[in-house]
Structure 1
């Protein structure tokens, strides 16, 4: 029981750390466009984003267990299950820090799920219990969204620029920019709310999963304490900001104006809301916002996209599942001699 309690405590700390890192990195996606077009000042942008991310997390109190059920995977009870969760969290955290240092926006969710799948595969290879539905999780919650989310966000943002510019054709550029900045400020709040609905929900689900696996909680409805902890971790990360990624999204990928920034953020927020509240599917905030910005920015009379930098981001999106599956497997193999007989 002692080792079970210790591992549960370690897994809880790592889960909260994952929530902080998630907010730290994904704050960039929520506020980068509004900062780029001066719709919001940086300090105001992160403060507002932190508030709405917290509120979005609290709004998912009844949905986090539904998310776990929807994903259709189960972690073994006890030490084996906690080992898998710890290895998956460590892998996702390490990859997230590396990509932040490089200024690359990648999906924290894809990193976590891929790390868990890799850990499960290594556990099965060694003859231990493993997660049921692991490869379905990889296919349905990582690989399929990786193909679908960027394409939908890009196409919708690109196409919506056409009616938006037509409706504004008789307005002055100053009035269009001023109105778009106001709309973009609202859209930034909506993206931050969607961040809480998506990533805050997953953090709360992970906390509950750790407690259930460690026999510290019975399966059942999510408690307010869990969601408060998840929301606080995510909001703390948002307040810390992730300015390296903000610079990439706002300066290195595409040149866009307030109107296109508003469209991109509006599309991303809508996708996040539908994914969480209607479909109960995990969507990447990073991929939705990034693809929306590139799509809207590309619909201009002049070449505005730096495709070399966009390609670098896309490569790391594809590398995330492969590297994190491998990382989760290697970590599990490494800790097996320490916990194999526990």
Structure 2
């Protein structure tokens, strides 16, 4: 077997490993609020999330095309570059999982790719349009994630909640939250699995030395299944941070947070914008918390989350750059 084919197989295995890790790292995004409000048990929530992650991952490739074509040009693709980016993202994901910090797997991958790309050809080869689209998602998804649930909560209060007894609100929204959690899991799979589809397509362009405008079907199915399996494993450390340590949640709060975040993520997926489900749902939880009063939100924990966001970009750029240099040095 030729060395480049072995390299491609290793890259695909690494990418699917990243997808799997993304699944258990980001399980909390879809299910933490449902677990915290006791609408679903952890086992029920994880099983539902795993299935809907797979279904969501099969619904489009717009984000995959952004990752494979709009960050680093495919003509600069090499297996070393892709490998360095993947290892960098995996290392950061595992570190933040170990620390229980809900950082962004999406931005870890994309900015690791930027760092490796800079190491390979300098800043001049980085495509500004794709990076700008990613940064827009980085800024707007948490901003909208904070504002939309506040507006939705006020709308629900004006239309329904003020006329309902607290016990009836809890009973009704316990059922509704199951649907909102399902929607959240579906949207998470639709955006996050596509990033791995994009990186594998990028690797294929390196191996075959040609541009890929369409994501191969086998790549789509492999990434969907890998994310579903990773989600099934779960990420209890981050579930505790997201569901229990940011704000005390009731079913109506979980419904509002999940519905708002899922709508934002789903809209971004259709526009080909890679966003962080972590950023979006954690901001939505904080947004819901502020409707109860600023003192109800545990801002110290929220600060740790924001700290992880801030460190992800420079750390992953530097790590991607360093790993690419190391790989090429060893290859020589």
TM-score range, shorter chain: over 0.9
Change (3 A) 1:331 1:73: closer
1:77-156 to structure 2, matched below 5 A, reads: 81-124=78-121, 132-141=125-134, 143-156=135-148
Q: Secondary structure at the match of 1:169?
A: helix
- TM score, norm. by length of structure 1: 0.91
The answer to whether the 8 Å contact 1:105/1:245 transfers is: yes
Cα shift readout 1:110-151 (whole Å, capped 9, x = no counterpart) = 0011111111112235xxxx883345543431x332222111
1:211-290 to structure 2, matched below 5 A, reads: 211-215=204-208, 219-277=212-270, 279-290=271-282
Change (3 A) 1:215 1:314: same
Change (3 A) 1:134 1:212: same
- TM score, norm. by length of structure 2: 0.93
The answer to whether the 8 Å contact 2:133/2:273 transfers is: no
Q: Secondary structure at the match of 1:282?
A: coil
In 1, distance between residues paired with 2:300 and 2:211?
50
Q: Which stretches in structure 2 are left out of the alignment for 5+ residues?
A: none
Change (3 A) 1:81 1:247: same
Cα shift readout 1:246-274 (whole Å, capped 9, x = no counterpart) = 00001111122111111010011101111
Cα shift readout 1:192-228 (whole Å, capped 9, x = no counterpart) = 1101110122222222221221118872433332111
Cα shift readout 1:38-74 (whole Å, capped 9, x = no counterpart) = 11111111111111110111122x5466444773641
Query: Number of residue pairs matched?
Result: 331
Q: Which stretches in structure 1 are left out of the alignment for 5+ residues?
A: none
Residue 165 (str. 1) matches residue 157 (str. 2): yes
Change (3 A) 1:44 1:131: farther
The aligned counterpart of 1:56 is: 56
Change (3 A) 1:120 1:217: closer
Change (3 A) 1:302 1:122: closer
The answer to whether the 8 Å contact 2:66/2:130 transfers is: no
The answer to whether the 8 Å contact 2:35/2:41 transfers is: yes
The answer to whether the 8 Å contact 2:39/2:251 transfers is: yes
In 1, distance between residues paired with 2:34 and 2:257?
11
Aligned-pair Cα RMSD in Å: 2.1
In 2, distance between residues paired with 1:69 and 1:337?
25
The answer to whether the 8 Å contact 1:74/1:131 transfers is: no
The answer to whether the 8 Å contact 2:137/2:273 transfers is: no
Change (3 A) 1:225 1:69: closer
Residue 74 (str. 1) matches residue 67 (str. 2): no
In 2, distance between residues paired with 1:72 and 1:330?
18
1:154-193 to structure 2, matched below 5 A, reads: 154-166=146-158, 167-193=160-186
